Amino acid sequence: MTRQEILNELKKVISPYTTNKEMLAQINEDTDLLKDLKINSANLVDIIIDAEAKYDIEIDYDEADKMMNVGSCIDVISEKIGQKQ
Amino acid sequence: MGNRVVVTGMGVVSPNGIGIQAFLHAIQNGISGIKFMPHYHELKFSCQVAGMPDFKWDSLTNYISEVTLHGLKGTNIAYGLMAALDAWKDSGMDFETEEPRWETGCVFGNSIADTEAMRNVINRVDNKEVKKLGSRVVEQAMNSGVTSYISGRLGFGNKVLTNSAACATGTQAILMGYEYIKHGYAKRMLVGSAEHVDTYVFGAFDSMRVLSRKFNDHPEKASRPMSATAGGFIPGSGAGALVLEDLDFALARGAKIYAEVLGGSTNSGGQRLGGTMTAASSAGVLRCINESLVSSNIHPNQIDLISGHLTATNADKQEIQNWCDALDRRGDNFPVTNSLKSMIGHSLSAAGSIETVASILQIVHGFVHPNINLDDPNPEITKLVSVDSLPVKMIKKEVNIVAKANFGFGDVNSCLILSKFN
């Protein structure tokens, strides 16, 4: 999967956790999940759980801590998908 | 004396109607909300009927954000949110606020979190999948879940707390809110209670053999308070909510006023003198009712209507005896009395708040709702009071003062005195 493909899929994963749909439609790698998308920090856990289920991967606590913007989410997810193959 | 306290908004999620208009129509026409539950038949429950609101989760999209709704599993929270937000809207207040509403608080009661929803949590933990639980379990498992969702949605900054006193919870929540306003701690309180009697809690009551089991083929006839053929109660679910306000505060904003809370009391019989975990001590009940009359500064003869606890167990007779003794009114002098449970069953914690909404509607619209399924009144009850005081059809009648009481496990009692606003 390319980074752009992962970003497009990530939009769907994030969607239930933000009311800011306009911002979600135009996210890029620099978009901050908390500051820009106004996601409740407690919900980051839920986004990670949903991403794990979607890509059939496991993200450990230390890696999850890095996932604060869209770019870092894509980093972690693409690395995990790579390890599977 | 303290401040006068009035009711300026109401909301209800009841087995026989969701929203005030549907509920009013149902109680005026004696419409039962009791239905057959095929799942309870499969589970070999003795009682296979229940009062379940015709609730659609999708309807919450008009009340809370989709982010909040996503992951909301607690049915009791959903009922409480809907009733509370309907009451708030009914009071004429806006949902949105930037600043906390420092003058407004919330007392909302419940018994048990939705154990069906919690079963998923237990299964995941037992399957070593604790990492998949996510962030939304704790807020829905905690006893204060309902109050937290309500207060967060509306930005309440005054006292926010959760009460629990079994079947006396609802009336107690209203009384607590009333007391805070009366004594000047808050100007406005959103009060009420919610209950979802899920399969496991229902099963626990079924095993106690306190539920009606002989009317599974005729669900609408199964809840029979004060009847000779009453054979136990029917669990119900739902929520009731009221906005209480300091009278001057309500008048200053031009709020519509439904009724006034004159006073009330909550106490316990101490599980002494005949009181036990599951049975009310008459001494405690009499004291609770008498304290309510004193705090409201009314004479027992002023009571136009008793909205009883009256669940359809063998405690009904003792309850009527207690009202006779507390008010010193019996026979033809006994006030008109009804039990909403004949239509919706016994919704435990939610009973008191739903029944208080019904009581206020009877004050506002000048009627007494029928006791359905009372075609065969218990002769031990009609020995105490006139059969005319237990109407089986709706009566159009001016209702000025209602006594609303509930009695719960743990030998706890709550009584409210509600009045037309003068």
As a whole number, mean pLDDT of residues B131-138 equals: 93
- The amino acid at residue B385 is V
Give the integer Cα–Cα distance in Å for B420 and B417.
Answer: 10
Give the integer Cα–Cα distance in Å for B420 and B305.
Answer: 12
B47-103 pLDDT, tens per residue?
A: 999 999 999 999 999 999 999 999 999 999 999 999 999 999 999 999 999 999 999
| Candidate from A22-26, A81-85, B306-310, B367-371 with smallest mean pLDDT | A81-85
Query: Which of the residues B63, B70, B131, B136 would you substitute to probe the A interface, choosing the one with the greatest number of A C-beta atoms within 10 Å?
Result: B131
Q: Choose the closest CB to B134 out of A18, A19, A46.
A: A46
Query: What integer pLDDT is reported at residue B22 of this predicted model?
Result: 98
Phi, psi of B119 (to 5 degrees): -60, -40
As a whole number, mean pLDDT of residues A45-60 equals: 94
Q: pLDDT tier at A80 (50, 70, 90 boundaries)?
A: very high
B158-202 pLDDT, tens per residue?
A: 999 999 999 999 999 999 999 999 999 999 999 999 999 999 999
Is pLDDT at B273 greater than 90 in this prediction? yes
- The amino acid at residue B260 is E
Average pLDDT of every residue of chain A: 94
Task: Measure Cα distances from B146 to A14, B151, B152, B377 in Å.
Answer: 26, 9, 10, 38
Q: What is the share, in percent, of chain A residues with pLDDT greater than 70?
A: 100
CATH number at residue A57: 1.10.1200.10
| DSSP assignment string, B346-404 | B-GGGHHHHHHHHHHHHHHHTEE---TT-SSB-HHHHTTB-GGGS-SS-EE----EEEE
Rg for chain A (alpha carbons), in Å? 12
Query: Which of the residues B65, B135, B137 would you substitute to probe the A interface, choosing the one with the greatest number of A C-beta atoms within 10 Å?
Result: B135
Is pLDDT at B404 greater than 90 in this prediction? yes
Give the integer Cα–Cα distance in Å for B162 and B145.
Answer: 9
Contacts of B116 (CB under 8 A, 6+ apart): B75, B198, B199, B200
Q: Which of A35, A28, A21, A39 is nearest to A73 (CA)?
A: A28
Q: Choose the closest CB to B67 out of A19, A52, A53.
A: A19
Question: ipTM of the assembly?
Answer: 0.90
| Domain membership of residue A43 as a residue range | 3-84
Contact across the interface for B67 and A40, Cβ inside 8 Å:
yes
Query: Which of the residues A17, A21, A24, A50 would you substitute to probe the B interface, choosing the one with the greatest number of B C-beta atoms within 10 Å?
Result: A17
Identify all chain B residues contacting A42, using CB atoms and an 8 Å cutoff.
135
**Residue matched to tokens 């620099």:** A30
Instruction: Name the interface residues of B facing A (CB cutoff 8 Å).
Output: 65-67, 70-71, 131-132, 134-136
B373-383 pLDDT, tens per residue?
A: 999 999 999 99
What burial class does residue B115 get, using C-beta atoms within 10 Å of its C-beta: 0-12 exposed, 13-18 middle, 19+ buried?
middle
Instruction: Name the interface residues of A facing B (CB cutoff 8 Å).
Output: 16-19, 40, 42-43, 45-46, 49, 52-53
Distance from CA of B173 to the nearest CA of A (A): 30
Q: Which of B8, B6, B22, B4 is nearest to B343 (CA)?
A: B22
Q: The dihedral of CA B274, B278, B279, B281: what is its sign?
A: positive
Is pLDDT at B44 greater than 80 in this prediction? yes
Give the integer Cα–Cα distance in Å for B192 and B246.
Answer: 17
Average pLDDT of every residue of chain B: 97
Half-sphere exposure of A85 (CA within 13 A, CB side): 8
Domains (range + CATH), chain B: 5-259 (3.40.47.10), 263-419 (3.40.47.10)
Q: Choose the closest CB to B65 out of A19, A45, A49.
A: A19
Q: What is the share, in percent, of chain B residues with pLDDT greater than 90?
A: 98
The per-type count for chain A, helices as H runs and strands as E runs, is 5, 0
Helix axes A70-84, A44-55, angle to 10 degrees: 30
Identify all chain A residues contacting B71, using CB atoms and an 8 Å cutoff.
16, 46
Q: Which of B95, B89, B62, B68 is nearest to B149 (CA)?
A: B68
Query: What integer pLDDT is reported at residue B117 of this predicted model?
Result: 86
DSSP SS3 for A50: helix
**Number of structural domains chain A divides into:** 1
Is pLDDT at A85 greater than 80 in this prediction? no
Please give the model's pTM, rounded to 2 decimal places.
0.97
Contact across the interface for A16 and B134, Cβ inside 8 Å:
no
B99-128 pLDDT, tens per residue?
A: 999 999 999 999 988 888 889 999 999 999
Q: pLDDT tier at A1 (50, 70, 90 boundaries)?
A: confident
B241-271 pLDDT, tens per residue?
A: 999 999 999 999 999 999 999 999 999 999 9
